Structure 1
Amino acid sequence: MSGLRVSLVLVGVAALVLVVVPLQYILVKTGSAFGNRLPRLFHRLLARLLGFRVHVHGKMVKGRPLLLVSNHISWSDIILLSTAGDISFIAKSEVRNWPFFGSLAVLQRSVFVERERRGKTGEQASEIASRLAAGDVMVLFAEGTTSDGNRVLPFKTSLFGAASAAIRETGAEAVTVQPVAIAYTRLHGMPMGRYHRAVASWPGDVELLPHLRTILREGAFDVDIRFGEPMAVAAGTNRKELARIMERRVRAMLQTSLMGREMQSEA
């Protein structure tokens, strides 16, 4: 049955892509406002096809400019976070060249950054700031890489300067920064635990296609997305302190999701 499921899902994904991607390309090229909303519908359908059931806790704040700061576990985070709102991502430059996912990232108007080139940090932060100032909600995966899903890695601080840059460049009084935690909690209705969470996580040393096949074969994941307490960032806010605060809040929300699910299974 697993082989049949994979085949059916691939057919469904192909049909969805053939309909939505050309339409999104036209919307982006013409500057249509619907080009910001179509990705959310697309990813909701895609998540259902892949077998993800998303549980959202809290809400994305309405104020703009808004920078979301999230942990990062897998390529699927992009699909799942996109089901919760009209957002764009700050992605590593190599993502642009990935098959399929790179094209989706471009069509979702992602900002591609070179994290290792410190000399470009200011320029990249300025590009992100301009998008924030235009009202786009940007998502920063602050760990700079993917984790095993059981913990939050230390946040890298360089791109947090985009919040202050948006204030300087637009004259806004403040930028809202909101922490978001994503947690893969159940597989086929059973708590995953530390060992089985590796099925969902995609650390950098694992090849993409084998991991994608595993996701397609399993096809029954529960995922928590938690929106945490936002913070208003002023022009003088220290980006390193901001990163530490966001890291603590994301880590606490991740543990709430993981411990909560495991305690429910024991009750």
Structure 2
Amino acid sequence: MRWLRRAGVLVYLLLVTLVLLPVQLFAMRFRPRLAARVPMWWQRAAARSLGLKVRVEGKPAGDRPLLIVSNHVSWVDIVTLGSVLPVSFIAKNEVAGWPVVSWLAKLQRSVFIDRTRRTATAASNSAIAARLAGGEALVLFAEGTTGDGIEVLPFRSALVGAARDAGGGAPITVQPVAIVYVGFQGLPIERSRMADIAWHGDMDLAPHLAAMIDIGAIDAVVAFGQPIAFGPDTDRKQVTAKAEAEVRALVRSVKARGVRNMTVTAASPDAAILSETESS
């Protein structure tokens, strides 16, 4: 019964949150490295409860500072990418006002950006600079919004350049990453059903979350592309265009292979979620 599964998932996530909340609050104050990892544990629990299976292709760059530049399909992207390695997200300022979501985003140590006010921009840049200087990996959804899950929207070079500039002009590594949803219940996702997972426009979160729970099994791929050196003298538009082209190529490649030989792996032993193989 749908309502029973929905209730079970929500209760499970509530219990996980209650267990990890004091750990994260302590870590955010006294143990920054631990604070970067606790959200990953929560995302793994969320992935497990949603039946989300993630196949990782390629490897995350070992160089730091690291800015991961990704496409954006749905709120599920946070769980998908956040469950495979410790990251923090650069989020638009509106998220900070969303009920429940804003609270979880803050525990994830997200950096909220508001480019409409100069004073807010300075605060955002300081936060981004501190994270990059601390050797953390930050995720930027370079489209600036979520798409329909079918086409990758143009990347906004201003966002990529702002993230680099926030680091004080020091060189950073930019890594293109593609997030692709390839299957429901072990079967390929038809084009007409991408709307079941894509979350955009004025869609309400609660009904969309309920629909995700009802699906019960989602196959996703996180594909890491080739890192790009991004120094103070590098043209941000060229870097953005290169990252966008790589993400588009990765998306096409993943979709062409679909759910066949779906192997759920992880970016590193520390980020292991589960491992199983399905054959069509």
What TM-score does the superposition give when structure 2 sets the normalisation length? 0.87
Q: Does 1:182 align with 2:179?
A: yes
State how 1:217-232 maps to structure 2 within 5 Å: 217-232=214-229
* RMSD of Structure 2 on Structure 1 (CA): 2.1
| Runs of 5+ unmatched residues, structure 2 | 263-279
Q: Which residue of 2 aligns with 1:70?
A: 70
Partners of 2:7 and 2:220 in 1: how far apart? Answer: 24
Q: Unpaired segments of 5 or more residues in structure 1?
A: none
Answer whether contact 1:121 1:159 (CA < 8 A) is retained: no
Cα displacement (A) at 1:79: 1.1
Q: Tell me the secondary structure at the aligned position of residue 173 of structure 2.
A: strand
Deviation at 1:20, TM superposition (A): 1.0
1:71 and 1:180 in contact (8 A); partners too: yes
Q: How far is the alpha carbon of 1:42 from its aligned partner?
A: 1.4
Runs of 4+ in 1 over 4 A off after TM superposition: 118-122, 262-265
Task: Give the SS at the match of 1:229.
Answer: coil
Query: Is residue 249 from structure 1 mapped to residue 250 from structure 2 by the alignment?
Result: no
8 Å Cα contact 1:73/1:202 also seen in 2 = yes
Please give the alpha-carbon distance, in whole angstroms, between the structure 1 residues aligned to 2:105 and 2:148: 23
* TM-fit CA distance, 1:165: 4.5
8 Å contact from structure 2 (residues 154, 244) kept in 1: yes
How far, CA to CA, are the matches of 2:260 and 2:141 in structure 1? 28
2:32, 2:243 → 1: CA distance? 33
SS of corresponding position for 2:258? helix
Compare 120-129 and 81-90 and name the one that shifted more. 120-129
Structure 2 residue 260 is matched with structure 1 residue 259: no
| Change over 3 Å in CA distance of 1:121–1:102 after alignment to 2 | closer
Richer in helix (by share): 1
Q: SS in structure 1 opposite 2:182?
A: strand
Report the AA paired with residue 86 of structure 1: P
Q: Residues of 2 paired with 1:97 and 1:164: CA distance?
A: 26
Output the amino acid matched with 1:92: K
User: Does 2:209 match 1:208?
Assistant: no
Given that residues 114 and 121 in structure 2 are in contact (C-alpha distance below 8 angstroms), is that contact kept between their aligned partners in structure 1?
no
SS of the aligned residue for 1:144 comes to coil
Map 1:110-129 to 2 at 5 A. Answer: 110-115=110-115, 117=116, 119=118, 123=122, 124-129=124-129
Q: Residue 30 of structure 1: CA displacement? A: 2.4
Secondary structure, aligned partner of 2:135: coil
**2-structure distance, mates of 1:109, 1:32:** 10
Corresponding residue number in structure 2 for 1:150: 150
- Say if 1:8 and 1:121 are closer, same or farther in 2 by CA, change over 3 A: closer
1:185 partner letter: V
- Match for 2:234: what amino acid? T
Offset at 1:262? Answer: 7.1
User: 1:15 matched to which residue of 2?
Assistant: 15
Larger mean Cα displacement after TM superposition, 92-101 or 181-190? 92-101
TM-score of the two chains, using structure 1 as the length reference: 0.91
Q: Distance in 1 between matches of 2:42 and 2:143?
A: 26
Return the offset for 1:186: 0.2
| Change in 2 beyond 3 A, CA 1:126/1:18 | closer
2:98 matches 1:98: yes
Matching residue within 231, 234, 237 for 2:231: 234
In 2, the alpha carbon distance for the partners of 1:91 and 1:194 equals 28
Between the aligned partners of 1:32 and 1:66, the Cα distance in structure 2 is: 17
**How many pairs align?**
261
Give percent identity, aligned residues only.
Answer: 43
Match of 2:27 in 1: 27
